[in-house]
A and B are shown apart, each in its own frame.
Chain A
């Protein structure tokens, strides 16, 4: 008799738990279905907005998302993972490429960059996608905090020449804040390395 009540109790408990798990799962499923398309559209739009910051949208006429290549080069692109490269073309001709390079030697973790390069090797623009550098010091690389990152626009491996692709403290031409050289140094190095990579692999970037 006692065992009977006990098992009845257990059965009731298990049923209730299952019932609520199913209800909770149902709520999440319904929300997911209702929001999925909107979320995908948001993510795409936000990425496209970022890409257009570093490669102005009147320069190309292809769909960047379907013209993508992944390449791996730890020394120059900053990560052992494959780096996504968006290729911009106008009437089929390559006009530029956007690299999602990483600056791996910042002050605090990886700095993820978007680097737009015109087909002739000049920089169309550079933006920081994410970083964890110190607020107030290292975050001058963030466009919301300072215009520092805009200084790359129009630069190339000949402008300045290769030995001046450094922050001012190291004898180069790029500004930095006193007391915060590590972050700008890492970004300058990553941008330069990406340009070197582009120079060495231009054909592979566009035609594979």
Chain B
């Protein structure tokens, strides 16, 4: 397994959002605005890196019979700690993400990468896998939430200051003036339609350039 392969896997070929379809619960629930999507994506990335590295470090001392309970303990502790830090230092973002932060625990991406990759690979590989898979997830969340926000509200990066501070207000773009909103894009069915479209687009690109 080379680093290039890991990079390609994480960002495109095996993208968690578009191909593995792991973490559907947050992907569908939180992607109503780009800010929300990126906020959850970054939190997931941090947890994924921490859990991948830790699990790779202990892969040789953990008894096979209890490896899954141990992985779950590690992931749950990291997520709880992350939630506390977000609540302490990004309180407004915490109010937006709310229940979806603790739900990172149940995000199958984390335990999936722990079991399928980190528990069998060196620390360097596991770290890199965490980074690329996490960025792939952010990419998927970003595409879907950008699409939904654009069609649903006619804006991009609304409330960006919640995450990046008041200085980030300039990021907010009103794409369509006097747009009355397209409710379907914001409601849960819009998440399924959007994700379906994006998966189809990815397949179409793959076919076009001849990737199997």
- Residues of A with C-beta under 8 A to B69: 17
Interface of A (DSSP majority class): helix
A207 within 8 A of B: no
A24 within 8 A of B: yes
- Residues of B with C-beta under 8 A to A42: 87-88, 91
Q: How far is the CA of A31 from the CA of B77 in the complex (A)?
A: 10
Q: How far is the CA of A196 from the CA of B74 in the complex (A)?
A: 54
Q: How far is the CA of A17 from the CA of B69 in the complex (A)?
A: 8
Interface residues of A in 1-23 (CB under 8 A from B): 9, 12-13, 16-17, 20-21, 23
Interface residues of B in 50-80 (CB under 8 A from A): 61-63, 65-66, 69-70, 73-74, 76-78, 80
Selected interface stretch from B8-16, B22-30, B179-187 = B179-187
User: Across the two chains, which residue of chain A brings its CB closest to B50?
Assistant: A27
Partner of A46, one of B61, B65, B81, B91: B91
B193 within 8 A of A: no
User: Across the two chains, which residue of chain A brings its CB closest to B183?
Assistant: A136
B85 within 8 A of A: yes
User: Across the two chains, which residue of chain A brings its CB closest to B81?
Assistant: A31
Q: Are A16 and B61 in contact (CB under 8 A)?
A: yes
- Residues of B with C-beta under 8 A to A25: 77
Interface magnitude class on chain A? 20 to 34
Partner of B89, one of A9, A12, A38, A43: A38
User: Across the two chains, which residue of chain A brings its CB closest to B181?
Assistant: A136
A65 within 8 A of B: no
Q: Are A27 and B81 in contact (CB under 8 A)?
A: yes
A35 within 8 A of B: yes
Q: Are A32 and B77 in contact (CB under 8 A)?
A: no
Nearest-Cβ distance from residue B83 to partner chain A, whole angstroms: 9
* Most chain A beta-carbon contacts within 10 A, residue among B69, B78, B84: B84
Q: Are B85 and A35 in contact (CB under 8 A)?
A: yes
- Residues of B with C-beta under 8 A to A20: 70, 73-74
B-contacting residues of A (Cβ < 8 Å)? 9, 12-13, 16-17, 20-21, 23-25, 27-28, 31-32, 34-35, 38-39, 42-43, 46, 135-136
A-contacting residues of B (Cβ < 8 Å)? 61-63, 65-66, 69-70, 73-74, 76-78, 80-81, 84-85, 87-89, 91, 95, 181, 183, 186-187
Sample 24 A-B pairs with CB under 8 A, ordered by A number.
A13-B65, A13-B66, A16-B63, A16-B66, A17-B66, A20-B74, A23-B77, A24-B74, A24-B76, A27-B78, A27-B81, A28-B77, A28-B81, A31-B84, A32-B84, A34-B88, A35-B87, A35-B88, A39-B88, A42-B87, A42-B88, A46-B91, A135-B183, A135-B186
Known: A31-B85, A42-B87. 18 other contacts (CB 8 A): A9-B63, A12-B63, A13-B66, A16-B70, A17-B66, A17-B69, A17-B70, A24-B73, A28-B77, A31-B81, A32-B84, A34-B88, A39-B88, A42-B88, A42-B91, A46-B91, A135-B183, A136-B183
Q: Give me the 5 closest cross-chain CB pairs, A-B, nearest first.
A: A24-B77, A35-B88, A31-B81, A38-B88, A42-B91
